[in-house]
Amino acid sequence: MKFEQQFSQQQKQTQKLAMTQKLQQSIQILQYNTEDLVDFIDNQALENPLLEVNPPSYSSSSYAKPGKTSGEETNYLSQIPDNSVSLFEHLIDQVHLNYRDTYLRQLVLYLVEYIDLNGFLQITLEEAAEKTGGSAIQLLDALTLIQQLDPAGVGARNLQECLMLQTERDNAAPHLAYVVLEEMFEELVARKWEKIAKKFDVSLSDVQEIFDYIQNLTPTPGAVYGSTEGLFIIPDLTVKISEQEVKVLSNRKSVPQIKFQQNYFERMKQSQDPEVLKYLKEKQQDYEWLKKTMQQRGDTIYRVGKAIVERQKAFFLNKERPLKPLTLMDIAEKLGIHESTVSRAVNGKYLETVFGVFELKSFFSKKIGAGTDKSSSNDAKHLLQQIVDQEDKRKPLSDQKLTDLMKEKGVTVSRRTVAKYRDALNIAGSSKRKRYD
């Protein structure tokens, strides 16, 4: 048997996209939010002496909270909260202010170091006693002093103790609230209220009052320190509404404006050094690329935002803020761009209205069922919330009953979907929604 090896030449033509570094950076720039874009431009300016960066010129309405009204014209920078004091610093200041310099205070300062950002103690008293040499009684006294500090609930070792500390310092707390938390916390959480009512000889409505009060307490007393909830964002687009017309404007002044340093370029160009001339040419090309890429970024965000607004026009004109079914593919097909481009253009980009600021991706909503364009998942959630709000709280509706009622109102979803929407809306199950008022 002979082994034969044959060779042949073939010419084959294929087409593929080469992802150059510039192309990858262009894609990344589209994905940047305003803050990331500012950082990127600043870094480019450090590497390119021909690039001059002018800081953005913000209008008085450029700062707004997501989903909330932007408010009157004022100094918005002064509204950014100063959260420079941490929980640790806040506790240390109180310790030095309220307690004398004794060995007990040293133990207090030692325990403070083991309090996490939520205000809970992350070391046992036995471990602390072993490491410090203090007695169990001394460590317990030190912890008691910490638990008397502000905020109420700090220094707790678990959720139950945290709620008890807050209740103990609240004169408006319902009668028996502290005792119920101390003796029957598990029963209260498990809603075994008949057992609680029987033990303390009170009515179910009294237990309901205690439970409602506890719901308003904070499970993380230290989380308020270092919070960034109040920080403002800079919208990429603005929607102006007049009568029945909705107009989209681009806030391109919210990003730095770049300028080419022509005078410096001309002076350096007079050099006869080939390396200098080559360097100038490269940096000029970098500037032209950055300018073009930023222009493309702004155009893409504007086109995508305008297409979204046109589709969701009812959201801006109707006070109920309804959303039509909309997917990334819908916008991509309308604009003739790739779906991934739409995804990058909406993530981290915001749209400002007179009634609040919203992320562009929040306007996308899945369609319910097949062959219909009338109901979206947002519509179903809104209807579900309405039904739950109107139910008899003494006899809450089961998920199956909610499913049947929604079907009667023209929204057909499965019981499993209702349960998923209920969880998304933070609506408890029927057994936990029951009230005894």
| Run means of pLDDT, 10 residues per run, the chain, 437 residues | 57 59 79 86 89 71 46 41 73 92 94 93 94 93 94 94 94 92 92 92 92 92 69 82 87 84 87 87 91 92 94 88 87 92 91 89 73 62 84 85 84 84 83 79
Q: Under the phi-then-psi rule, with left for phi > 0, alpha for psi from -120 to 50, and beta for the rest, what region is 71?
A: left
- CATH architecture of the domain formed by 377-433: Orthogonal Bundle (1.10)
Pick the closest to residue 330 from 296, 367, 357 (CA basis): 367
- pLDDT of 255: 82
How much is the pTM? 0.58
Could you write out the three-class secondary structure of the chain? CCCCCCCCCCCCCCCCCCCCHHHHHHHHHHHCCHHHHHHHHHHHHHHCCCEEEECCCCCCCCCECECCCCCCCCCHHHHCCCCCCCHHHHHHHHHHHHCCCCHHHHHHHHHHCCECCCCEECCCHHHHHHHHCCCHHHHHHHHHHHCCCCCCCCCECCHHHHHHHHHHCCCCCCCCHHHHHHHCHHHHHCCCHHHHHHHHCCCHHHHHHHHHHHHCCCCCCCCCCCCCCCCCECCCEEEEEECCEEEEEECHHHCCEEEECHHHHHHHHCCCCHHHHHHHHHHHHHHHHHHHHHHHHHHHHHHHHHHHHHHCHHHHHCCCCCCCCECHHHHHHHHCCCHHHHHHHHCCCEEEECCEEEEHHHHCECECCCCCCCCEHHHHHHHHHHHHHHCCCCCCCCHHHHHHHHHHCCCCCCHHHHHHHHHHCCCCCHHHHCCCC
- Domain boundaries in the chain? 20-75+233-365, 87-215, 377-433
Burial of residue 277 (number of CB atoms within 10 Å: 0-12, 13-18, 19+): middle
